[in-house]
Structure 1
Amino acid sequence: MRILAALLMTALPALADEPPPGLVSAELMPGWITPEGHRMTALRLELEPGWKTYWRSPGDAGVPPRFDWQGSRNLGPVRVLWPRPEVIESGGERTLGYHDRLILPIEITPTQPGQPVAPRVVVDFGLCLDICVPAQVRLTAPPPGDAPDPLIEAALARQPRASDRQPECRVQPIKDGMQVTATLPSEESALAEDVAMELAGKDIWVSAPETSAEGARVVAQADFVAASGKPFPLDPAALRLTLIGPEDAVEFRGCRPES
């Protein structure tokens, strides 16, 4: 699965006028200007019935979206604000993503405050039915609207909530990278239908975590594999763990060494 994921991430199609299989339409929504002067927009993907696309940390076989904002004007820092994903069973694999439709809010800080932001983006992403295919679209946002968009606001409301607690972690080298074992707080463990583990700011492949119970606490273990295929320095403060349930999700930033 590690090889399959790597191949899918590199085998991207050329830009095309016709939507790829499974995609009905794609757009950057008009959005609005926030009170802070930021441009709020959203990537909207409408999929054929039954088709799915992936979350930012999809698991073993998924392809996380990648964004290229070259060609935009007055574009500063970009924040992609991910709604809670679904747990998807497909072809014997368990991944995290969205079916039928994705509205993915995006907040852009202008480099020149008070001046218009003109977002343009090329998005590489995966689409799945019985098999998974890579897709690519080029999008330009229209001018912003005068008021917040209820569809984007609803997607913002589905973001995982942040926890002020930290899991306990054990980090150790393995043959081709690092392995993290996280013991999650009991207060949130009952929520878990699935767990995602990520490393902020790094292009690292992460396996779908294996989970078990330790009393009232969930224990999640995942492998982190860099392009070098060797162990590497892994900062526990850069870890991000997300507990995902059918109606809720909670996110943890960083972890502390096991006591």
Structure 2
Amino acid sequence: MIRALTKTLAACLALALPLQPAQAEEPVRAELRPGWRLPNGDHMAALHLSLAPGWKTYWRAPGDAGIPPSFDWKGTRNARDIAVLWPTPHVFWQSGMRSVGYKGDLVLPIRITPGNKGEITLKTEMQMGLCSDICVPHTLRIDATLPAEGSTPDPMIASALASAPFSRGEASVRAVRCSVRPVDGGVSLRAEIDMPRAGAEEEAVVESGQPTVWAAEPQTRREGGTLVTETKLMHMDGKPFMLDRSRLRFTVLGSEHAVDIQGCDS
């Protein structure tokens, strides 16, 4: 339903709330798009980041060469749940290392489930990495009030939602088979994903779904109708761990579209 919004939205954009003064020398300019209330009572807002030419920032799983973003929602009022909905990222290669993220404009939707029908006080800090020839940490501070009324969708937010990876069903993924074996320092994971091609030069990103378990950059290849990706999973402190296959997450990035796959079938 949200993907279909882009076909019917009016041309005018919703009012944006500046987060900080724009300065020409800064690598990023940011504003909060206050968004609208969904029919179920949730509120859809977004961060709009404009990156200076030559600069990039990172996706939730940034790769070995990236800096993972983080959010601290302390201070927010009237929010039972907050979900960041990531648009499809790009793969960048530099000096033989892969990173996953964005350049240019990034509209990052935020879906908020309020505790009641009143307005929402959104207050947080976003820690992010910005990279060009050098990489620098950057903090965005959000302090805004989202109105309780308003049902007109923001076309920029709707477009970002429509650019999210396809679900397993939308991409006709037939099966996901996972096999693991112990190796020095962790476990080796091989995932066989039966799915149509997502476009040329498919890349896979593997996330463990466990905050203390890190996935190395995978090796991905095609074997007919099956995408095979292999990686090593390690505990950040070098400790032994139990792997929950239902929490494994695979994102396949292709030239035509991306696919978000949760868990293994076997």
TM-score w.r.t. length of structure 2 = 0.82
Task: Indicate the SS of the match to 1:162.
Answer: coil
Deviates more, 1:213-222 or 1:80-89: 213-222
Compute the displacement of 1:80 (Å): 1.1
The Cα offsets for residues 198-228 of structure 1, whole Å up to 9 and x where unpaired, read as: 1225243222211123233221112222222
Task: Indicate the SS of the match to 2:40.
Answer: coil
Between the aligned partners of 1:137 and 1:189, the Cα distance in structure 2 is 34
Unpaired stretches in structure 2, ≥5 consecutive residues: 1-19
Would the aligned equivalents of 2:120 and 2:145 in 1 still touch at CA under 8 Å?
no
The Cα offsets for residues 141-171 of structure 1, whole Å up to 9 and x where unpaired, read as: 3434551110000000011111144411112
Deviates more, 1:91-100 or 1:237-246: 91-100
Task: Indicate the SS of the match to 1:184.
Answer: strand
Compute the displacement of 1:190 (Å): 5.5
Compute the displacement of 1:192 (Å): 5.4
Between the aligned partners of 2:262 and 2:186, the Cα distance in structure 1 is 21
The answer to whether structure 1 residue 48 and structure 2 residue 57 are counterparts is no
Q: Which amino acid aligns with 1:46?
A: S
Compute the displacement of 1:64 (Å): 1.8
1:162 counterpart residue number: 167
The answer to whether structure 1 residue 64 and structure 2 residue 79 are counterparts is no
CA shift in 2, pair 1:209/1:75, >3 Å: same
1:105 counterpart residue number: 109
Higher relative CO (CA 8 A, sep ≥ 6), structure 1 or 2?
A: 1
Task: Indicate the SS of the match to 2:121.
Answer: coil
1:10 counterpart residue number: none
Between the aligned partners of 2:258 and 2:39, the Cα distance in structure 1 is 27
The answer to whether structure 1 residue 125 and structure 2 residue 91 are counterparts is no
The answer to whether structure 1 residue 89 and structure 2 residue 89 are counterparts is no
Would the aligned equivalents of 1:86 and 1:246 in 2 still touch at CA under 8 Å?
no
The answer to whether structure 1 residue 139 and structure 2 residue 139 are counterparts is no
Task: Indicate the SS of the match to 2:246.
Answer: helix
For residues 223-242 of structure 1, what are the structure 2 equivalents within 5 Å?
223-242=232-251
CA shift in 2, pair 1:246/1:201, >3 Å: same
Between the aligned partners of 1:239 and 1:94, the Cα distance in structure 2 is 20
Deviates more, 1:30-39 or 1:126-135: 126-135
The answer to whether structure 1 residue 245 and structure 2 residue 258 are counterparts is no
Unpaired stretches in structure 1, ≥5 consecutive residues: 1-15
CA shift in 2, pair 1:172/1:99, >3 Å: same
Between the aligned partners of 1:36 and 1:28, the Cα distance in structure 2 is 22
Task: Indicate the SS of the match to 2:39.
Answer: coil
Q: What root-mean-square deviation, in Å, do the aligned CA atoms of Structure 1 and Structure 2 show?
A: 2.4
Task: Indicate the SS of the match to 2:75.
Answer: coil
Between the aligned partners of 1:250 and 1:48, the Cα distance in structure 2 is 28
Q: Which amino acid aligns with 1:198?
A: E
Between the aligned partners of 1:243 and 1:22, the Cα distance in structure 2 is 32
Compute the displacement of 1:197 (Å): 0.8
2:156 counterpart residue number: 151
2:3 counterpart residue number: none
Aligned residues: 241
TM-score w.r.t. length of structure 1 = 0.84
Deviates more, 1:203-212 or 1:113-122: 203-212
Q: Which amino acid aligns with 2:45?
A: T
Identity %: 42
Compute the displacement of 1:188 (Å): 4.1
Task: Indicate the SS of the match to 1:233.
Answer: coil
Q: Which amino acid aligns with 1:109?
A: T
Compute the displacement of 1:191 (Å): 6.0
Between the aligned partners of 1:230 and 1:192, the Cα distance in structure 2 is 35
2:35 counterpart residue number: 31
Between the aligned partners of 1:36 and 1:146, the Cα distance in structure 2 is 11
Q: Which amino acid aligns with 1:149?
A: D
1:220 counterpart residue number: 229
Compute the displacement of 1:29 (Å): 1.6
